[in-house]
Amino acid sequence: MQSGQGTLCWLIGTDFPAQGLIVNLCMDDRKRGGDMLQRLACGLAFLLLSPGSVLADAFQQSLVQSALERTAHQVTYNGAYYRLDYPNGDVPANIGVCTDVVIRSYRAVGVDLQVLVHEDMAAHFSAYPSRRIWGLTSTDRNIDHRRVPNLQTFFSRHGESLPVSDNPADYAPGDLVTWMLPGNLPHIGIVADTLSSSTGNPEIVHNIGAGPRLEDMLFDYRVTGHYRYQPVVANPE
């Protein structure tokens, strides 16, 4: 703690796996009151615990970097049905839809959503909307994981289903957001670790038709879901 020329400064250092953080909190001496420490503590707690803070863990940061890397690829929007390899099946690299951005980003960090969604649907088919929406009676590992409603179900069952809000600070890097586009078209994207210079909203990596893009569009459409998914890692014996 340093004090001088009417300013009280607190220097707090933290050491996190994803990145270090130094926060410099300064308060004018003339504004200090009996509750100064309490207010500083509350402010620091908000910074450290806020889901939108820069302290996103290592996995979320890796996922964000994988999503951002997708924006370097030339991809034509094409939702055609393909028979895929299993596991690690993918449509041709030069085509894809919004779900393929998510699938490829997770696969780059070692998570195969094709397998995870298929296995969960095979064991709990009635929990998924395939019969209600598409009239299906069985799983299809070629396409199930490429459908937004199925991903929503999987992330809500095996990750965190977070509140949908109009507060941009609630959306952390690596979070998944779903929208309903005009024409009742579901859409999905990944929250990046950058903020829009014009609105201050978190930017989104998604493919809405022109290939993977990083864009300020979080609140352009009705948000229908907000999720956070990290794979479960068993503790070593």
CATH code linked to domain 59-228: 3.90.1720.10
For 40-61, the pLDDT digits (tens) are: 444 444 444 444 444 348 999 9
Can you tell me whether residue 4 is helix, strand or coil? Answer: strand
Strand partners, 223: 179
Alpha-carbon span 25 to 11, nearest angstrom: 7
Strand partners, 227: 161, 176
Q: Where are the domains of the chain?
A: 2-49, 59-228
pLDDT tops 50 at residue 184: yes
Alpha-carbon span 196 to 57, nearest angstrom: 22
Alpha-carbon span 175 to 47, nearest angstrom: 18
Alpha-carbon span 162 to 127, nearest angstrom: 19
pLDDT tops 80 at residue 195: yes
Token readout for 211 is 């290939």
For 113-129, the pLDDT digits (tens) are: 999 999 999 999 999 99
pLDDT tops 90 at residue 68: yes
User: Using an 8 Å Cβ cutoff, are 147 and 188 in contact?
Assistant: no
The pLDDT value recorded for residue 233 is 57
The pLDDT value recorded for residue 57 is 85
Alpha-carbon span 8 to 65, nearest angstrom: 37
pLDDT exceeding 70 applies to what percent of the chain?
A: 74
For 1-23, the pLDDT digits (tens) are: 444 333 333 333 333 333 333 33
Please give the mean pLDDT across all residues of the chain. Answer: 83
Alpha-carbon span 11 to 110, nearest angstrom: 37
pLDDT tops 80 at residue 27: no
User: Using an 8 Å Cβ cutoff, are 91 and 100 in contact?
Assistant: yes
The pLDDT value recorded for residue 28 is 39
What is the spatial order of strands in the sheet that 20-28 belongs to?
Answer: 2-4, 7-15, 20-28
Handedness of CA 103, 105, 106, 107 (dihedral sign): positive
Question: What number of other Cβ atoms are within 10 A of residue 22's Cβ?
Answer: 8
User: Model confidence at 155, in pLDDT bands (50, 70, 90)?
Assistant: very high
User: Using an 8 Å Cβ cutoff, are 211 and 75 in contact?
Assistant: yes
User: Model confidence at 179, in pLDDT bands (50, 70, 90)?
Assistant: very high
The separation between CA 73 and the C-alpha centre of its own chain, rounded to angstroms, equals: 20
User: Using an 8 Å Cβ cutoff, are 117 and 224 in contact?
Assistant: no
In terms of pLDDT, which residue wins out, 161 or 28?
161
The pLDDT value recorded for residue 48 is 46
User: Using an 8 Å Cβ cutoff, are 24 and 2 in contact?
Assistant: no
H or E element, residue 3: strand 2-4
